[in-house]
Amino acid sequence: MLGIIFAIVTFWLFAQTLLNVIPAIQGSLGLKSTVANLAVSVTALMSGLFIVVFGGLADHVGRGTILRLGIALSIAGSLLIALTPAKQGALTATMIMAGRIVQGLSAACVMPSSLALIKDFYDGHARERALSFWSIGSWGGSGFCSLFGGLMAVSFLGWRSIFWISIAVAALALYLTRDTPVSRVAGTATPHRFDWSGLIAFVLAMLAINIVISQGPRLGWFSGASLGLIVAFVVFILAFFWVETHKPGPFVDLSIFDNKTFAGATLSNFLLNGSAGTLVVALGLVQHAAGWSSLHAGLLTLGYLVAIVATIRVGEKLLQRYGPKRPMMWGTSITAVGIILTSLTFLLIGQYTVVAFIGFTLYGVGLGFYATPSTDAAMSSVSDDRAGEAAGLYKMASSLGSAFGVAISAAIYTAAAHVPPHLVPHIFFGRQSNVALRFGGGLGLLFNVFMCLVALISIIVAVPEAQPDEQRAARPQVPASPSFGS
């Protein structure tokens, strides 16, 4: 478990630090803003595109094997970024983008394989506890990344130290998981040929819409290029759905979404992860509009870090007492309230600091309540032979939700920040030279509130009151700490 947590942390803590330190990296490397923005979102996008592939492979090739492959890719991705030369034009852009893409592929391996291992080796309350520790590595890492990244970026070690430390942690994870068994599905039917057509259609659709969202301000929202990409997205996504419903051995077996509990948990997970745009907008705003350093901005999320780590186990206990639905609803609602507080950008900076700190703390409490019940609802509602595939789809929702949430929030922030000052509502206190930035930040943050409200509706509609694990009663309970060497 410790090795799994370290493997997860190499993504959420180290790969996702760019959410906060990208301004420092952009200035140091001389990156264009478009390349820098793409570098932030491409890791989650690549993870989302390929996580189902590696989740399915984990079921058949071996979950332990795919886990270790992911850790090795994490080392390679961090190495590429740490060695990226400064201000070398195309070489600089190529190396940092390559490193970020490899980090995304690493997450695509680690996330579903580690979840499937937990489902395979733990059951009942032992599994819920294991999922809590898994969530501490995932959600806790995401909470700590802004503070950690900001600290490293302003220290004498510099931002590159983030990725050298990541390599050391990944190497330790590789050592700790060396004896993890292969853990593959036994007795599977003869496999079909891999669904390349479905994968290609899905990748092209996601790339097209992500380029529109992230590059819209530069391309022009109604330009020929943007409209062409939107048409391409529609064509490829329709082709994807047609292929997946007509071809044997599909890339994504959509029949798994007939499971209402799994569908509700996965959709809400997509939307809650989409609220990661809150971190990008709020931390970027205080750096650009108030002149804060990345460390100063990261300290704004200290309450988020403490709250999410402290309340994940609380979410586990709420799951055991009430089942998944109520703690998922409570967590989503608290998260929305926290984001609303961070969106009050019309306040003076001193007032905003207090309100946003409270908001980020509530944001952490909400996600802490939500994390374990949601993961357990999704994984316990599917059969063991589909654990890797289900984990891949669930984490694909996380990665794509984060990628699109960040891209859309940043796009709204950027677009609204260029509104002429005389069109901005006259509600902003203090200095008026930055009201357009503050207005854009507020709108970008309110989009994340909308994501939470839709997530709440999906939970109310789809997730049952009772714990959905029908197999739990039928399966024998395993020890709380099973031996991976057996």
pLDDT digits (tens, 9 = 90+) for 429-458: 766 666 777 887 888 899 999 999 999 999
Average the pLDDT over 328-348 and give the result: 92
pLDDT-derived band of residue 79, with 50, 70 and 90 as boundaries?
Answer: very high
Quickly tell me which residue has 């003076």 as its tokens: 348
CB 432 within 8 A of CB 326: no
Q: Is 473's pLDDT higher than 80?
A: no
More confidently predicted of 479 and 299: 299
pLDDT digits (tens, 9 = 90+) for 145-198: 767 777 777 777 888 888 898 899 999 999 999 888 777 766 544 445 667 788
Of the candidates 326, 324, 333, the residue with the CA atom closest to the CA atom of residue 265: 324
pLDDT at position 457, please? 93
Q: pTM of the prediction?
A: 0.75
What angle do the packed helices 160-176 and 2-9 form, to 10 degrees? Answer: 150
Residues 223 and 220: their CA atoms lie apart, in Å, by 5
Quickly tell me which residue has 């491409």 as its tokens: 42
Task: Give the CATH number of domain 2-179+251-462; options: 3.30.470.10, 1.10.1740.10, 1.20.1250.20, 2.70.70.10.
Answer: 1.20.1250.20
DSSP for 21-74 reads HHHHHHHHHT--HHHHHHHHHHHHHHHHHHHHHHHHHHHHH-HHHHHHHHHHHH
Of the candidates 385, 395, 54, 2, the residue with the CA atom closest to the CA atom of residue 179: 2
Q: Cα 65 from chain centroid?
A: 23
Reduced to 3 states (helix: H, G, I; strand: E, B; else coil), residue 221 is coil
Average the pLDDT over 109-137 and give the result: 84
Query: For a pLDDT cut of 70, what percent of the chain falls above it?
Result: 87
Of the candidates 47, 76, 65, 99, the residue with the CA atom closest to the CA atom of residue 167: 76
Q: Is 474's pLDDT higher than 60?
A: no
Query: For a pLDDT cut of 90, what percent of the chain falls above it?
Result: 21
Instruction: Write out the H or E segment, with its range, that includes residue 18.
Output: helix 18-29
Average the pLDDT over 39-67 and give the result: 80
pLDDT-derived band of residue 328, with 50, 70 and 90 as boundaries?
Answer: very high
CB 388 within 8 A of CB 56: yes
The ranges assigned to domains in the chain are: 2-179+251-462
Q: Is 481's pLDDT higher than 50?
A: no
Mean confidence (pLDDT) of the chain: 81
Residues 115 and 121: their CA atoms lie apart, in Å, by 10
